[in-house]
Structure 1
Amino acid sequence: MKLYYLQGACSLACLISLIEAGAKFEAIPVDRKTRKLPDGRDYTEVNPKGYVPALELDDGEVLTENTAVLPYIADLNPSAKLAPPVGTRERFRLQEWLGYLNGELHKNFSLLFLPSVPEPMKQIAKDNIARRLALIEERLGDKPYLMGENFSVADAYLYVILSWRERLGVDISAFPKVTALYERVRARPSVEAARKAEGLSA
């Protein structure tokens, strides 16, 4: 397998999850400015959408979108418990979390990266982020992770989104349970290994 990634982007959640699953894979960086691969090809030859992640399977088929790639990675090694078993109600809860993180939290954070977005619109995005985090805070209750006792691919995704907060001016101090989850995930060896592999600071 080959994981195509941009340094520090949402594909980091896939890298963390692959390490957690103990999978054999090659991590291939995409140049942020040129969108070129190390072999000189344009990244759109792999993923016509032009963004990460993209997971190239051993048979050459390519999966994209975190909502698809992360569950696929989890199912590579069920014993790692990165996702509940297929067909269970809890599995659908995981899909629910992944959809929420992708469509509600990630997308609002994405607006803050764009210099062309006016400040009033960025403030709206920050207000939306606060509301989304408030829901996560409430749903966490006394659970250490989104799905309960077990770390899941959804926690990896949430961690990566929240790792952008300081550079984007997003304050999460009002959400102690979310903050504690973030720190809990950051301390995992897989996160340290993934960040080191991408050349990110600790």
Structure 2
Amino acid sequence: MEPVLFYGVPQGCSFGSVVVLEWLGQPYRLCRIEMMEQPWDPLYAKVNPLFKTPALLLEDGEPLTESLAILQHLVACDLSTRLGFEQGSREHDRLNQMLAYLTTDFFAAFGPLWTLYDTQGMSGVEQALLRRLGREQVAEGCAYLDGLLAKREWLLGDARSMADAYVMGIARWAEYHRLFDLGSDYPNLARHLAKLRDDPAVRFAEAIERGEQPTGQGHFRGHVSLQELEPRLAPDALSA
């Protein structure tokens, strides 16, 4: 069977990995994880003991976790797409630097907001503090990206890379949490996101999250359940 990407809804950062899979044009399947349903199926511990998404089940039954590792693995299979670059090249270093920023600093900036989203019973003061901290941190990240995109067509320059797919999945959280008007406050970032939303792969990923059944570019082989995948899951699978 083809590799299987475990993606989380709603608003999972795995969105970027779905987009990259479509851009690559290689056969793959998806397994949907409803992150708000608790507890998660204990079988998922064989995929990722930390119970997080995304995860990628490789053809040999070994799972690969963490967005940075998954994205690098996917594009390394076909560098001719120019979504990634050869290890050791200056282009690879620049891409790694951008991905590291997006998967750590920019992702973490939304932490207080997701804590507020997931937690009940907080006082009004605590809620206001989390929202203020989150807004300040996200604003700093958006300002940084907006400045980069003032001089570039894509995050790394003149051509798209997997970093653009990943930033789409994260930056949209600013709109989801209604932090500010991206179009007014960060017009270059807003322009970039609008351009990405016109991309067929991004539209496909959005439809997948909504629970629709799009065909994409024809390389998507459908959904598969955790139970169907159980025979492929290594009994001692560990998260890296």
What TM-score do the two structures reach when normalised by structure 2? 0.77
Residue ranges of structure 2 left out of the alignment (5+ in a row): 120-125, 213-240
SS at match of 1:123: helix
The match for 2:38 among 34, 40, 43 is 34
Q: Take 2:72 and 2:147, find their aligned partners in 1: how far apart are those partners?
A: 24
Give, in angstroms, the shift of residue 181 of structure 1: 0.8
Percent of aligned positions that are identical = 27
One-letter amino acid of the structure 2 residue matched with residue 34 of structure 1:
Q
Give, in angstroms, the shift of residue 200 of structure 1: 6.0
The residue number in structure 1 matching 2:4 is 2
Point out the more displaced range, 59-68 or 115-124: 115-124
Q: Take 2:179 and 2:162, find their aligned partners in 1: how far apart are those partners?
A: 23
SS at match of 2:31: strand
Q: Take 1:200 and 1:150, find their aligned partners in 2: how far apart are those partners?
A: 31
SS at match of 1:6: strand
The residue number in structure 2 matching 1:188 is 199
Q: Is the 8 Å Cα contact of residues 3 and 26 (structure 1) preserved in structure 2? A: yes
The match for 2:186 among 163, 175, 195 is 175
- Deviations along 1:9-53, one digit per CA (max 9) or x if unpaired, are 00111011011011211100113213546xxx5322211111001
Give, in angstroms, the shift of residue 174 of structure 1: 1.2
Q: Take 1:80 and 1:191, find their aligned partners in 2: how far apart are those partners?
A: 17
What TM-score do the two structures reach when normalised by structure 1? 0.90
Q: Take 1:197 and 1:125, find their aligned partners in 2: how far apart are those partners?
A: 28
1:136 aligns with 2:145: yes
* Runs of 4 or more above 4 Å deviation: none
SS at match of 1:159: helix
The residue number in structure 2 matching 1:68 is 69
Q: 1:40-59 maps to which residues of 2 (within 5 A)?
A: 42-59=43-60
- Deviations along 1:52-93, one digit per CA (max 9) or x if unpaired, are 010011011111111111111112222221113322112111
Residue ranges of structure 1 left out of the alignment (5+ in a row): none
* Structure with larger Rg: 2
SS at match of 1:55: strand
Q: Take 1:108 and 1:96, find their aligned partners in 2: how far apart are those partners?
A: 17
Tell me the number of residue pairs that the alignment of Structure 1 and Structure 2 aligns. Answer: 198
One-letter amino acid of the structure 1 residue matched with residue 6 of structure 2:
Y
In angstroms, what is the RMSD of aligned CA positions? Answer: 1.8
Q: Take 1:196 and 1:35, find their aligned partners in 2: how far apart are those partners?
A: 25
Q: Is the 8 Å Cα contact of residues 35 and 42 (structure 1) preserved in structure 2? A: no
Q: Is the 8 Å Cα contact of residues 110 and 137 (structure 2) preserved in structure 1? A: no
Give, in angstroms, the shift of residue 137 of structure 1: 1.7
Q: Take 1:137 and 1:162, find their aligned partners in 2: how far apart are those partners?
A: 11
Q: Take 2:39 and 2:86, find their aligned partners in 1: how far apart are those partners?
A: 36
- Deviations along 1:116-171, one digit per CA (max 9) or x if unpaired, are 36321321221111112212222223211101121111111111112222231222
Q: Is the 8 Å Cα contact of residues 84 and 91 (structure 1) preserved in structure 2? A: yes
Q: Is the 8 Å Cα contact of residues 17 and 67 (structure 2) preserved in structure 1? A: yes
The structure-2 alpha-carbon separation of the partners of 1:156 and 1:200, relative to structure 1 and needing over 3 Å to count, comes to: farther
Point out the more displaced range, 112-121 or 8-17: 112-121
The match for 1:157 among 137, 155, 166 is 166
